[in-house]
């Protein structure tokens, strides 16, 4: 099939290259000229394991192409996927849909033959109705169909998640459209993915509800971890104990610094706004947001306690600053709250991240990027393991740190409390 992905970010690029790899002709469109230039030259603008090889392979076979020309891509394609960003509005919790509607208006100018317009971006309930309304102002209804096909991939695991999804949700009540989408996804269905056809509005809500539920699960175990710290219980025992209940399941029950990233924070906020719009109080999600916003403060309080309230001039090393491992994404990472706070208190921050230096800390006082784990840890008073990269999983701290009395605060519970005690390392984890 001939498709185009409008918006070549984490979702558009990954799904575009995977669709190409499944044998489709795909054009990835983006308004950023440098992004498209890089991609045409085999350079990948984001960090995502396995992506580079797949892009180069499919670009070589000419099944995958890149352009800044949205019009020509739409004219050449049968299926048009909208994959642009839907961040929170500035100073509001609502989703900013300006990128979606700008793209919609652009697409409508180029519909001369039947096209299926598919929203892969995460959009609030009724956005599909609005897209349909905008296009029908200039295009006869028989020439297009608007579908919601939310994407569930996770950064860091994006290719695997796309190829082996638990389910594919397609929101459309148009039989012909549904049949085409089912054919497009048939290679994934035959590998075991469940294909779920719903109404367009239901598909939109499935995406928000999934993210809100997962955010709730994370927040739930984080609060239980707080209780464990006060009662001398290891939260990992509790996670295993409750996760073994099949009704609950073990995933997303690992206590840590709170959820962040480009999806959960903005999507939990947006669904609450949708609730308000339809006069429905989503009180659980509201409290999840509040609890998660408080998470960094709780962890920072513990940092202060660990350092006997003497943060000034302490050398603190952060291992990993992105919102999770295997991504370069800094959006709503808890390090963006923690590092400026500690710097304000007079700490000297050294950080290392496998995806390199971050512009976000350029203007923060006393924050230095180090290009190796060793140079970041070397003279630390406190090492904070902030993300769970494999690179941080078997460190010999005594060889890495020159000081005698250094402390490790493991915010991902990578290391065992008992082993650290045995090695006489002052160690703190989460919820233990």
By CB under 6 A, residue 343 contacts ligand NAD: no
**Burial (CB count within 10 angstroms: exposed 0-12, middle 13-18, buried 19+), residue 192:** exposed
Q: Among 17, 70, 205, 253, which residue interacts with ligand NAD (rule: CB under 6 A)?
A: 70
Closest to ligand NAD by CB, 155 or 381: 155
Q: Does position 121 bind ligand NAD by CB under 6 A?
A: yes
In eight-state DSSP terms, residue 88 is B
85 contacts ligand NAD (rule: CB under 6 A): yes
- Residue count at the site for ligand NAD (CB under 6 A)? 27
Instruction: Rule CB under 6 A: say whether 30 interacts with ligand NAD.
Output: yes
Cα 266 to Cα 315: distance, rounded to the nearest angstrom: 33
Tokens of 357: 């230096």
Residue 215 to residue 288: CA distance in whole angstroms: 7
Q: Which of residues 288-307 bind ligand NAD (CB under 6 A)?
A: none
Core vs surface per residue 248-257: b (16+ CB within 10 A) or e: eeeebbbbbb
Binding string, residues 250-289; x marks residues near ligand NAD by CB under 6 A: ------------xx--------------------------
Contacts of 404 (CB under 8 A, 6+ apart): none
Which residue has the CB atom at the shortest distance from ligand NAD? 9
Letter string b/e over residues 196-235, b meaning 16 or more CB atoms within 10 A of that residue's CB: ebbebbebbbbbbebbbebbbbbbbbbbbbbebbeeeebb
Catalytic residue list contains 263: yes
Task: Kindly tell me which residue out of 58, 77, 86, 239 binds ligand NAD, with binding defined by CB under 6 A.
Answer: 86
CA distance 94 to 88: 6
Say what angle helices 200-231 and 127-136 make with each other, to 10 degrees.
Answer: 150
Q: For residue 316, what are its two tokens?
A: 């603190």
Tell me if 32 contacts ligand NAD by CB under 6 A: yes
122 near ligand NAD, rule: CB under 6 A:
yes
CB atoms within 10 A of CB 402: 11
Give the nearest distance from C-beta 92 to ligand NAD in angstroms.
16
Point out the catalytic residue in the list 263, 317, 370, 377: 263
Which one of the spans 6-14, 54-62, 137-145, 190-198 is the region binding ligand NAD (CB under 6 A)? 6-14
Task: Find the shortest distance in angstroms from Cβ 262 to ligand NAD.
Answer: 5
Q: How many CB atoms lie within 10 A of CB 12?
A: 25
Minimum CB separation from ligand NAD for residue 420, in Å?
33
- The token duo for 257 is 């610094």
The Cα–Cα gap between 135 and 11 comes to 23
Q: Where are the alpha helices (DSSP H) in 307-400?
A: 335-344, 373-377, 397-400
Using CB under 6 A, which of the segments 82-90, 347-355, 377-385, 406-414 binds ligand NAD?
82-90
Nearer to ligand NAD, 83 or 317 (CB): 83
DSSP per residue over 352-377, as a string? E-TT---GGGTTSTTEEE-SSHHHHH
**Spatial contact of 85 and 48, defined as CB atoms under 8 Å apart:** no
Residue 85 or residue 320: which is nearer to ligand NAD going by CB?
Answer: 85
Residues numbered 145 to 174 that lie near ligand NAD (CB under 6 A) are 151, 153, 155
- Decide: 387 and 319 in contact? Cβ < 8 Å: yes
CB of 187 to ligand NAD, least distance (A): 20
Shortest Cβ distance from residue 287 to ligand NAD (Å)?
22
CB nearer to ligand NAD: give 12 or 256: 12
Shortest distance in whole angstroms from residue 212 CB to ligand NAD: 13
Query: How far apart (Å, rounded) are the C-alpha atoms in residues 270 and 286?
Result: 10
Binding mask 90-119 for ligand NAD (x = CB under 6 A): ---------x--xx----------------
| Strand spans (E) along 228-288 | none
Among 4, 5, 10, 172, binds ligand NAD (CB under 6 A): 10
Tell which one of 3, 5, 9, 19 touches ligand NAD (CB under 6 A): 9
Among 1, 25, 31, 187, contact with ligand NAD (rule: CB under 6 A): 31
| 10 vs 144, beta carbon nearer ligand NAD | 10
Residues that bind ligand NAD (CB under 6 A): 6-12, 29-32, 35, 70, 83-86, 99, 102-103, 121-122, 151, 153, 155, 262-263
Catalytic residue annotation = 263
């Amino acid at each position: 099939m001939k498709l185009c992905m409008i918006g070549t970010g984490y979702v558009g690029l990954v799904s575009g290259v995977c669709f190409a790899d499944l044998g489709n002709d795909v054009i990835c469109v983006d308004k950023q000229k440098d992004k498209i230039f890089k991609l045409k030259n085999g350079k990948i603008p984001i960090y995502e394991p396995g992506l580079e090889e797949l892009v180069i392979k499919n670009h070589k076979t000419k099944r995958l192409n890149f352009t800044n020309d949205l019009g020509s891509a739409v004219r050449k394609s049968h299926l048009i996927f909208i994959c642009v960003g839907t961040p929170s509005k500035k100073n509001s919790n609502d989703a900013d849909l300006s990128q979606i509607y700008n793209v919609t208006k652009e697409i409508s100018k180029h519909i001369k033959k039947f096209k299926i317009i598919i929203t892969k971006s995460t959009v609030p309930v009724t956005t599909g109705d609005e897209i349909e309304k905008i296009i029908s102002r200039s295009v006869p209804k028989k020439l297009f169909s608007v579908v919601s096909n939310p994407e569930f991939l996770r950064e860091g695991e994006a290719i695997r998640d796309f190829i082996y999804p638990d389910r594919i949700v397609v929101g459309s009540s148009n039989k012909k459209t549904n049949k085409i989408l089912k054919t497009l996804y048939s290679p994934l269905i035959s590998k075991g993915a469940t294909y779920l056809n719903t109404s367009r509005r239901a598909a939109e809500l499935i995406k928000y509800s999934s993210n809100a539920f997962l955010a709730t699960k994370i927040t739930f175990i984080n609060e239980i971890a707080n209780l464990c710290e006060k009662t001398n219980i290891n939260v990992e025992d509790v996670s295993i104990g409750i996760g073994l209940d099949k009704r609950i399941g073990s995933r997303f029950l690992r206590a840590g610094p709170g959820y962040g990233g480009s999806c959960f924070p903005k999507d939990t906020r947006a669904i609450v706004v949708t609730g308000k719009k339809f006069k429905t109080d989503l009180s659980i999600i509201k409290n999840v947001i509040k609890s998660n916003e408080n998470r960094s403060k709780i962890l920072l309080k513990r940092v202060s306690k660990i350092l006997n309230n003497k943060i000034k001039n302490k050398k603190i090393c952060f291992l990993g600053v992105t919102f999770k491992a295997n991504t370069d994404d800094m959006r709503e990472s808890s390090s963006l709250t923690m590092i400026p706070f500690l710097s304000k208190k007079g700490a000297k921050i050294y950080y290392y991240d496998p995806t390199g230096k971050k512009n976000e800390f350029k203007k923060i006082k006393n924050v230095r990027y180090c290009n190796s784990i060793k140079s970041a840890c070397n003279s630390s008073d406190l090492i904070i393991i902030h993300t769970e990269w494999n690179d941080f999983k078997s460190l010999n701290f005594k060889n890495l740190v020159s000081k005698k009395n250094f402390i490790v605060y493991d915010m991902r519970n990578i290391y065992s409390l008992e082993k650290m005690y045995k090695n006489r390392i002052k160690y703190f984890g989460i919820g233990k």
